[in-house]
Amino acid sequence: MIKLEDVVKTYHMGQFEVRALDGVSLSIRTGEMVAVMGPSGSGKSTLMNLIGCLDVPTSGRYFLDDDEIETLGGNGLAEIRHRKVGFVFQTHNLLPRLTAQDNVELPLLYGGGRRRKARAREALERVGLGDRTTHRPTELSGGQQQRVGIARALVKNPSLLLADEPTGNLDSRSSEDIISILADLNANEGMTVIIVTHERAVAARAGRIVSMIDGAVVSDEDADEWENTP
């Protein structure tokens, strides 16, 4: 369960203070699939970073399950990220030196655990890349790279999967594949999935759509209601 209460996040850009989030309150239940939409600069990536425990709010409170995130230090955040959060990035952020298998194994290095190789292979099989384990990112297509990125995010079985414009660099066919995988993980494994996107077609696959402008949530609707708004 995710609960943000009046969260403010400000950044300093030189002399200017930028209010990336301006009092956001939001609750997301475990097992929901939520799309976050909004123009660039609306604060959706900042929101994702906070929900993903990469950063803490300037003010306000954030609860992830039972943990009060804004009270944690760097290592506490790293621990939560490791246990609960899987990230899928727009630019997939794979390490070019490593094979698909090694990239997927990466998160497991930081938590110990057994059967790392086998678990990495299973994750690749779940995204349909069981035959590409020894390929390096440059030897894979954009869609395949993003699927490796998803495999890396889900290898730890996180309760929360965050995807920041996962289809931003992909053609529509690959986008469809990626969204299907994410929707499938949400439906069959009960993972909470939050997707930041520009694309209505992508957002339409979510059960709930949150729209943001200028660091504030302007609408928060079920998919059915949203379909009917222009």
Partner 1 sequence: MSFPSILMTALSSLGANKLRTGLALLGIVIGVAAVISTMSVGRGAQQQIVEDIESLGANLIFVYPSQTPSGVVGTITLQDAYALIDPGNAPAVAQVAPEITAFAQIVAGREGTSNQVRGVTPEYASVRNYEVTSGSFISARHVRNRSDVAVLGAQIARDLYGHRDPVGQPVRIDGRQFTVIGIMKSRGGDNPFGDYEVMAPITTVYFRIESQRTVQGEISVQSVSVQTKEGAPPDDAIRQVTSVLRLRHRIAEGDSDDFIVNSLEETIQTVQDAQNTFVIFLGTIAGISLLVGGIGIMNIMMVSVTERTREIGIRKAMGAKWRDILYQFVSEATLLSLGGGLVGAMAGVGLSTVLDGWNLGDQPLRTVVTLDITAIAVTVAAAIGLFFGIYPAARAANLHPIEALRYE
Q: What is the C-alpha R_g of the chain?
A: 17
Per CB under 8 A, 49 contacts partner 1: yes
E-strand ranges in 59-137 read 59-64, 67-68, 85-88
To partner 1, the closest distance from the beta carbon of 103 in angstroms equals: 9
Per CB under 8 A, 81 contacts partner 1: yes
**Out of 3, 19, 82, 135, the residue judged to bind partner 1 by CB under 8 A:** 82
DSSP state of 40: T
Count CA atoms closer than 13 A to 78's CA, side-chain side. Answer: 6
To partner 1, the closest distance from the beta carbon of 132 in angstroms equals: 20
CB within 8 Å of 78: residues ≥ 6 apart: 110
Q: Distance between CA atoms of 120 and 145, rounded to whole angstroms? A: 15
Q: Which position has the token pair 């943001």?
A: 212
Q: Distance between CA atoms of 54 and 116, rounded to whole angstroms? A: 24
Per CB under 8 A, 89 contacts partner 1: yes
To partner 1, the closest distance from the beta carbon of 87 in angstroms equals: 5
Q: Give the DSSP H/E element, type plus range, for residue 71.
A: none
Enumerate residues 102-121 that contact partner 1 by CB under 8 A: 106-107, 109-112
Nearer to partner 1 among residue 3 and residue 82 (C-beta): 82
To partner 1, the closest distance from the beta carbon of 84 in angstroms equals: 9
Nearer to partner 1 among residue 97 and residue 173 (C-beta): 97
Nearer to partner 1 among residue 110 and residue 201 (C-beta): 110
Q: Which position has the token pair 């609306």?
A: 42
Enumerate residues 129-148 that contact partner 1 by CB under 8 A: none
Interface residues toward partner 1, by CB under 8 A: 49, 52, 54-55, 74-75, 78-79, 81-83, 85, 87, 89, 93, 95, 97-98, 106-107, 109-112, 152, 156
